[in-house]
Chains A and B, each alone.
Chain A
Amino acid sequence: MADKIIAVEPNGTPLEIHDLTVAYHKKPVLWGIDLAVPPGKLVGIVGPNGAGKSTLIKAAMGLLPLNSGWVKIFGQPVRKALNRVGYMPQRESVDWDFPVSVMDVVLMGRYGHLGLIKRPRKIDREIARECLDKVKMLPFANRQISNLSGGQQQRVFLARALAQQSDLYFMDEPFAGVDAATESAIVTLLQELKNKGKTLMVVHHDLPTAREYFDMLLLLNMRVVAFGPTEQVFTPDLLQKTYGGKLTILSEVAEEVRQKGTS
């Protein structure tokens, strides 16, 4: 992977979200999200189950229809900026019995750079190999993906995201179901990416480790409870606000909206 030092151009904030509302089956799961993420940060998105963490990053990448608000990536509408976005979905989101090899999956990280029709070139294979090497999965390159352990699957997904060579990454629970060794290896790689000036938005659900892993935290529970440097945000008061039971009214109203509709 070419060492592009500070790949972020001056054309704007990596991720800017304004008044974003997203609903599933008419039931709002995110309300009026405002967010501006500065470049070169490793951001953890934390919150209780059902807080809308995955929904937020999916909506930010344009995978979900928005009920209101807008998202800009490097100052551009999402659709135009996708070539600078990398994604590491949840491991459970795919069928691991799919007939592809580890290498095939990592090569998919290069497809976005290739565009339609073009086949992966030699350079793409080279990059994919390097990324596999970084996550220590190169020896498994020709294995079929169903023979991998949970931690190995997570490494393969990380390698695919690395192969995208993006400036802004969205990662959905990259530490879910991995062993301690894999977890620390992933953290090191995320730090490396950040040091190269990339911005990373990482959904995470383990509070104690969130504190040490991330520069900034986004406390989320259907709306933004707090967003800022970890040391300022990781306070008992704010965490109580995020995880405590004070949001019952909000979720009740959401349920009412689902039943009655807003218009």
Chain B
Amino acid sequence: MRRHFICLILLLTVGNVSGARIGDLGETDIVAQAVRFFTFQDPAVRYALIGSMLLGISCGLLGSFIVVRKMALVGDALSHAVLPGVALGFLWNMTKDPVAILVGATLAGLLGAAVVTLIKQTTRLKEDAALGLVLASFFAVGICLVTIIQRLPTGNKSGIDKFLFGQAAALGADDVRLMAIVTAGAIAAIWIFYKEFLMTSFDAAFARVAGFPAQLIHYALMLLLAFAVVIALQAVGVVLVSAMLITPAAAAYLLTDRMSRMLWLAALFGMIAGAAGAFFSFLGPKLPTGPFMVLSATSVFALAFLFGPRHGVVVRWWRQHSRARRIQRENTLKSIYHVLEARDFQGEGVSLRELGERRRETIEEVKRQSLDLRGHGLVSLHEEGNVMFLTPTGWQLACSIVRNHRLWELYLTNAAQIAADHVHEDAEKIEHVLGEETVRQLEKRLAGITKDPHGKPIPTLADIRQGVGYTERPAETTGYGKR
């Protein structure tokens, strides 16, 4: 009876403390809140911000190793498995004592990991099934315990519910101190044992042969991971904390291919996401922090996914697009050459109508292509844009495309014994990708042959050079490539 009374008193005090914190205040103007946030006058704001950034750093660092070790699911399972530990840590002395919760949560996490290993070793189940099983069952136990705590007298003011979705504003000085210690520990461990972590992550068997205790290093990493998860719990929440492990690290993974840079980037992204999450959840009353943090991290990931310089979707799309445009330009140039060739290179102007007939396209389509060609300095337009003249560069490019095409056709029929009527389609694609070096080899191999398998002359190097100095010649000169 007396003990219950003490619990009640303690809970009331806790309730009072958290009641005084910023996140629990009533309706407040968003702008006023933003101003309060950025002036950093309020200690609660400082705790929330610093805490969120610290957890972002430690989650980003440990998450990087989780991602490269392909253990993202382990992080997810671990973060859910700690919930019963959090609840038990709370029940230990009925306060939100950070150290008791850290101990309880870490023990629960390690127990979860042990159960996964046990299931894997004693049954035929593979890791994913074992992880799913542990994740769900531990989480269920945790939810039950949390519900019980909330049913206790004034339990709903205990702040335990913050552990589900996270509330950065609920962080106190003790919490932030612990977060700083854990983050500093994680940074130090990774700094000192970078070589060992790197090697065992890449090739554990090789590390063992080189004399490193790979298993021990693995457990150390798991322990650090458990710590990172636990300190993040209060601000991010059990449900979403695994996203803070995986998302910043995954974004970093898309942007670099060196482990050290990935660690820096992941820590930075985690920190940014943490700060942004703390800020947004601060704007309104009683907004959970976790979802905002995770959404901020996801935005970073989306940016990396779309605009990453090497693997970004937009960059890849743009590369493909400009390649398609280039091929189209080259094909139009080729058609102009064909028109000129068909009239034995008499006259240099090619009208849009001629080109349209040749390409079986409308005047409008051909017009658009002519403008594109002019934009790249390959043709000049005359007579209100109805007649095109190849510029020297345009002529050279047209000749070399036709040359590539015909050389390749010749090569296929001569050297690869492919029938003459099969080679055109293939050459249509190859002509755009043949490099200088390959063309030289083809020339060497096919030296002395001047006509393609269909009997058309292959433009010679002399033909190509003829384009140079075109601008100095009077416009009425005719006979490019005329033999």
Contacts of A105 in B (CB 8 A): 202
A111 engages B210 (CB within 8 Å): yes
Query: Whole-angstrom distance from the CB of B395 to the nearest CB of chain A?
Result: 38
Distance in angstroms from A71 CB to nearest chain B CB is 13
Given contacts A99-B262, A100-B258, A119-B195, contact A108 B202 (CB under 8 A): yes
Residues 98 to 122 of chain A near chain B (Cβ within 8 Å): 98-101, 104-105, 108, 111-112, 114-120
**Does A123 count as interface, using CB distance less than 8 angstroms?**
no
**Min distance, Cβ A29 to any Cβ of chain B, angstroms:** 17
Enumerate chain A residues within 8 angstroms of B193, measured Cβ to Cβ.
Answer: 116-117
Contact between chains at B256 and A63 (CB < 8 Å): no
Least CB separation from A58: chain B residue: B205
Contact A89 B202 (CB under 8 A): no
Binds B, one of A9-17, A80-88, A224-232, A241-249: A80-88
A115 to B211, CA, bound (A): 8
How distant is B255 from chain A, measured CB to nearest CB, in Å? Answer: 10
Binary contact readout B459-470 vs A (1 if CB under 8 angstroms, 0 otherwise): 000000000000
B196 within 8 A of A: yes
User: A68-86 CB contact bits vs B (8 Å, 1 = yes)?
Assistant: 0000000000000011011
Contact assessment for B259 and A100 in the assembled complex, using a CB-CB cutoff below 8 Å: yes
> Is the CB–CB distance between A93 and B195 below 8 Å?
no
Q: How far is the CB of B249 from chain A (nearest CB, A)?
A: 11
- The reply to whether B205 and A63 form a contact with Cβ atoms under 8 Å apart is yes
On chain B, the number of residues with a Cβ less than 8 Å from chain A's Cβ atoms is 26
Q: Which residues of B contact A95 (CB under 8 A)?
A: 68, 70, 202
Inter-chain contact total with CB atoms closer than 8 Å: 85
* Residue in contact with B202 in the complex, picked from A100, A114, A170, CB distance below 8 Å: A100
CB < 8 Å neighbour of B208 from A62, A86, A118 = A62
Q: How far is the CB of B63 from chain A (nearest CB, A)?
A: 14
Chain B residue at minimum C-beta to C-beta distance from A95: B70
Min Cβ gap B224→A in Å is 16
Over the window 404-440 of chain B, the binary record of Cβ atoms lying under 8 Å from chain A Cβ atoms (1 yes, 0 no) is: 0000000000000000000000000000000000000
- Are the CB atoms of A114 and B201 closer together than 8 Å? no
**A87-B206 Cα distance, complex, nearest whole Å:** 7
Interface residue A190 (Cβ < 8 Å from any Cβ of B):
no
Partner of A164, one of B198, B205, B210, B258: B210
A146 within 8 A of B: yes
A112 contacts B211, C-beta separation under 8 Å: yes
Q: Which residues of B contact A101 (CB under 8 A)?
A: 257-258
Contact B192 A83 (CB under 8 A): no
B209 and A82 contacting across the interface, CB-CB below 8 Å: yes
Inter-chain CA distance A119–B211, complex, in Å, is 16
Q: Is A61 located at the chain interface by the 8 A CB criterion?
A: yes
**Shortest beta-carbon distance from A144 to chain B in Å:** 4
The answer to whether A116 and B258 have CB atoms under 8 Å apart is no
Q: Name the distance in Å between B82's Cβ and chain A's nearest Cβ.
A: 28
Instruction: State whether B209 touches A61 (Cβ < 8 A).
Output: yes
Q: Are A111 and B212 in contact (CB under 8 A)?
A: yes
B365, CB-defined interface residue at 8 Å: no
Q: In the assembled complex, how far is the CB of residue A87 from the closest CB belonging to chain B, in whole angstroms?
A: 4
Check B203 for interface membership: any CB of A closer than 8 A: yes
Given contacts A95-B70, A99-B262, contact A116 B205 (CB under 8 A): no
Is the beta-carbon distance between A99 and B196 smaller than 8 angstroms?
A: no
A94 interface residue per 8 A CB criterion: yes
- Does B253 sit at the interface, judged by CB under 8 A? yes
- When distances are taken between beta carbons in the complex, the residues of chain B under 8 Å from A100 are 198, 202, 257-259
Chain B residues with CB under 8 Å of A112's CB are: 209-212
Enumerate chain A residues within 8 angstroms of B206, measured Cβ to Cβ. 87, 89, 108, 160
Bound-state CA distance A117–B209 (Å) is 17
Q: Mark A115-156, 1 if CB is under 8 A from B, else 0.
A: 111111000000000000000000000001010000000000
- CB B428 to nearest CB in A, in angstroms, measures 29
A212 to B166, CA, bound (A): 67
Q: Say yes or no: B205 contacts A82, CB within 8 Å.
A: no
Beyond A99-B68, A100-B259, whether A93 also contacts B205 by CB under 8 A is yes
**Is B199 engaged at the interface, CB distance under 8 Å to the other chain?**
yes
B253 closest partner in A (C-beta): A99
Q: With the chains together, A87 CA to B209 CA distance in Å?
A: 7
Q: Can you pick out 6 interface pairs between chain A and chain B where the beta carbons lie within 8 Å of each other?
A: A63-B209, A86-B209, A87-B205, A95-B68, A99-B253, A100-B258
Which residues on A are within 8 Å of B, measured CB to CB?
58, 61-63, 82-83, 85-87, 89, 93-95, 98-101, 104-105, 108, 111-112, 114-120, 144, 146, 160, 164, 170
B residues at A contact (CB < 8 Å): 68, 70, 192-193, 195-196, 198-199, 201-203, 205-212, 253, 256-259, 261-262
- Contacts A62-B209, A112-B210 supplied; 17 other A-B pairs, CB < 8 Å: A63-B209, A87-B210, A89-B203, A89-B205, A89-B206, A98-B201, A98-B202, A98-B259, A99-B257, A99-B258, A101-B258, A104-B198, A108-B198, A108-B207, A115-B211, A160-B206, A170-B209
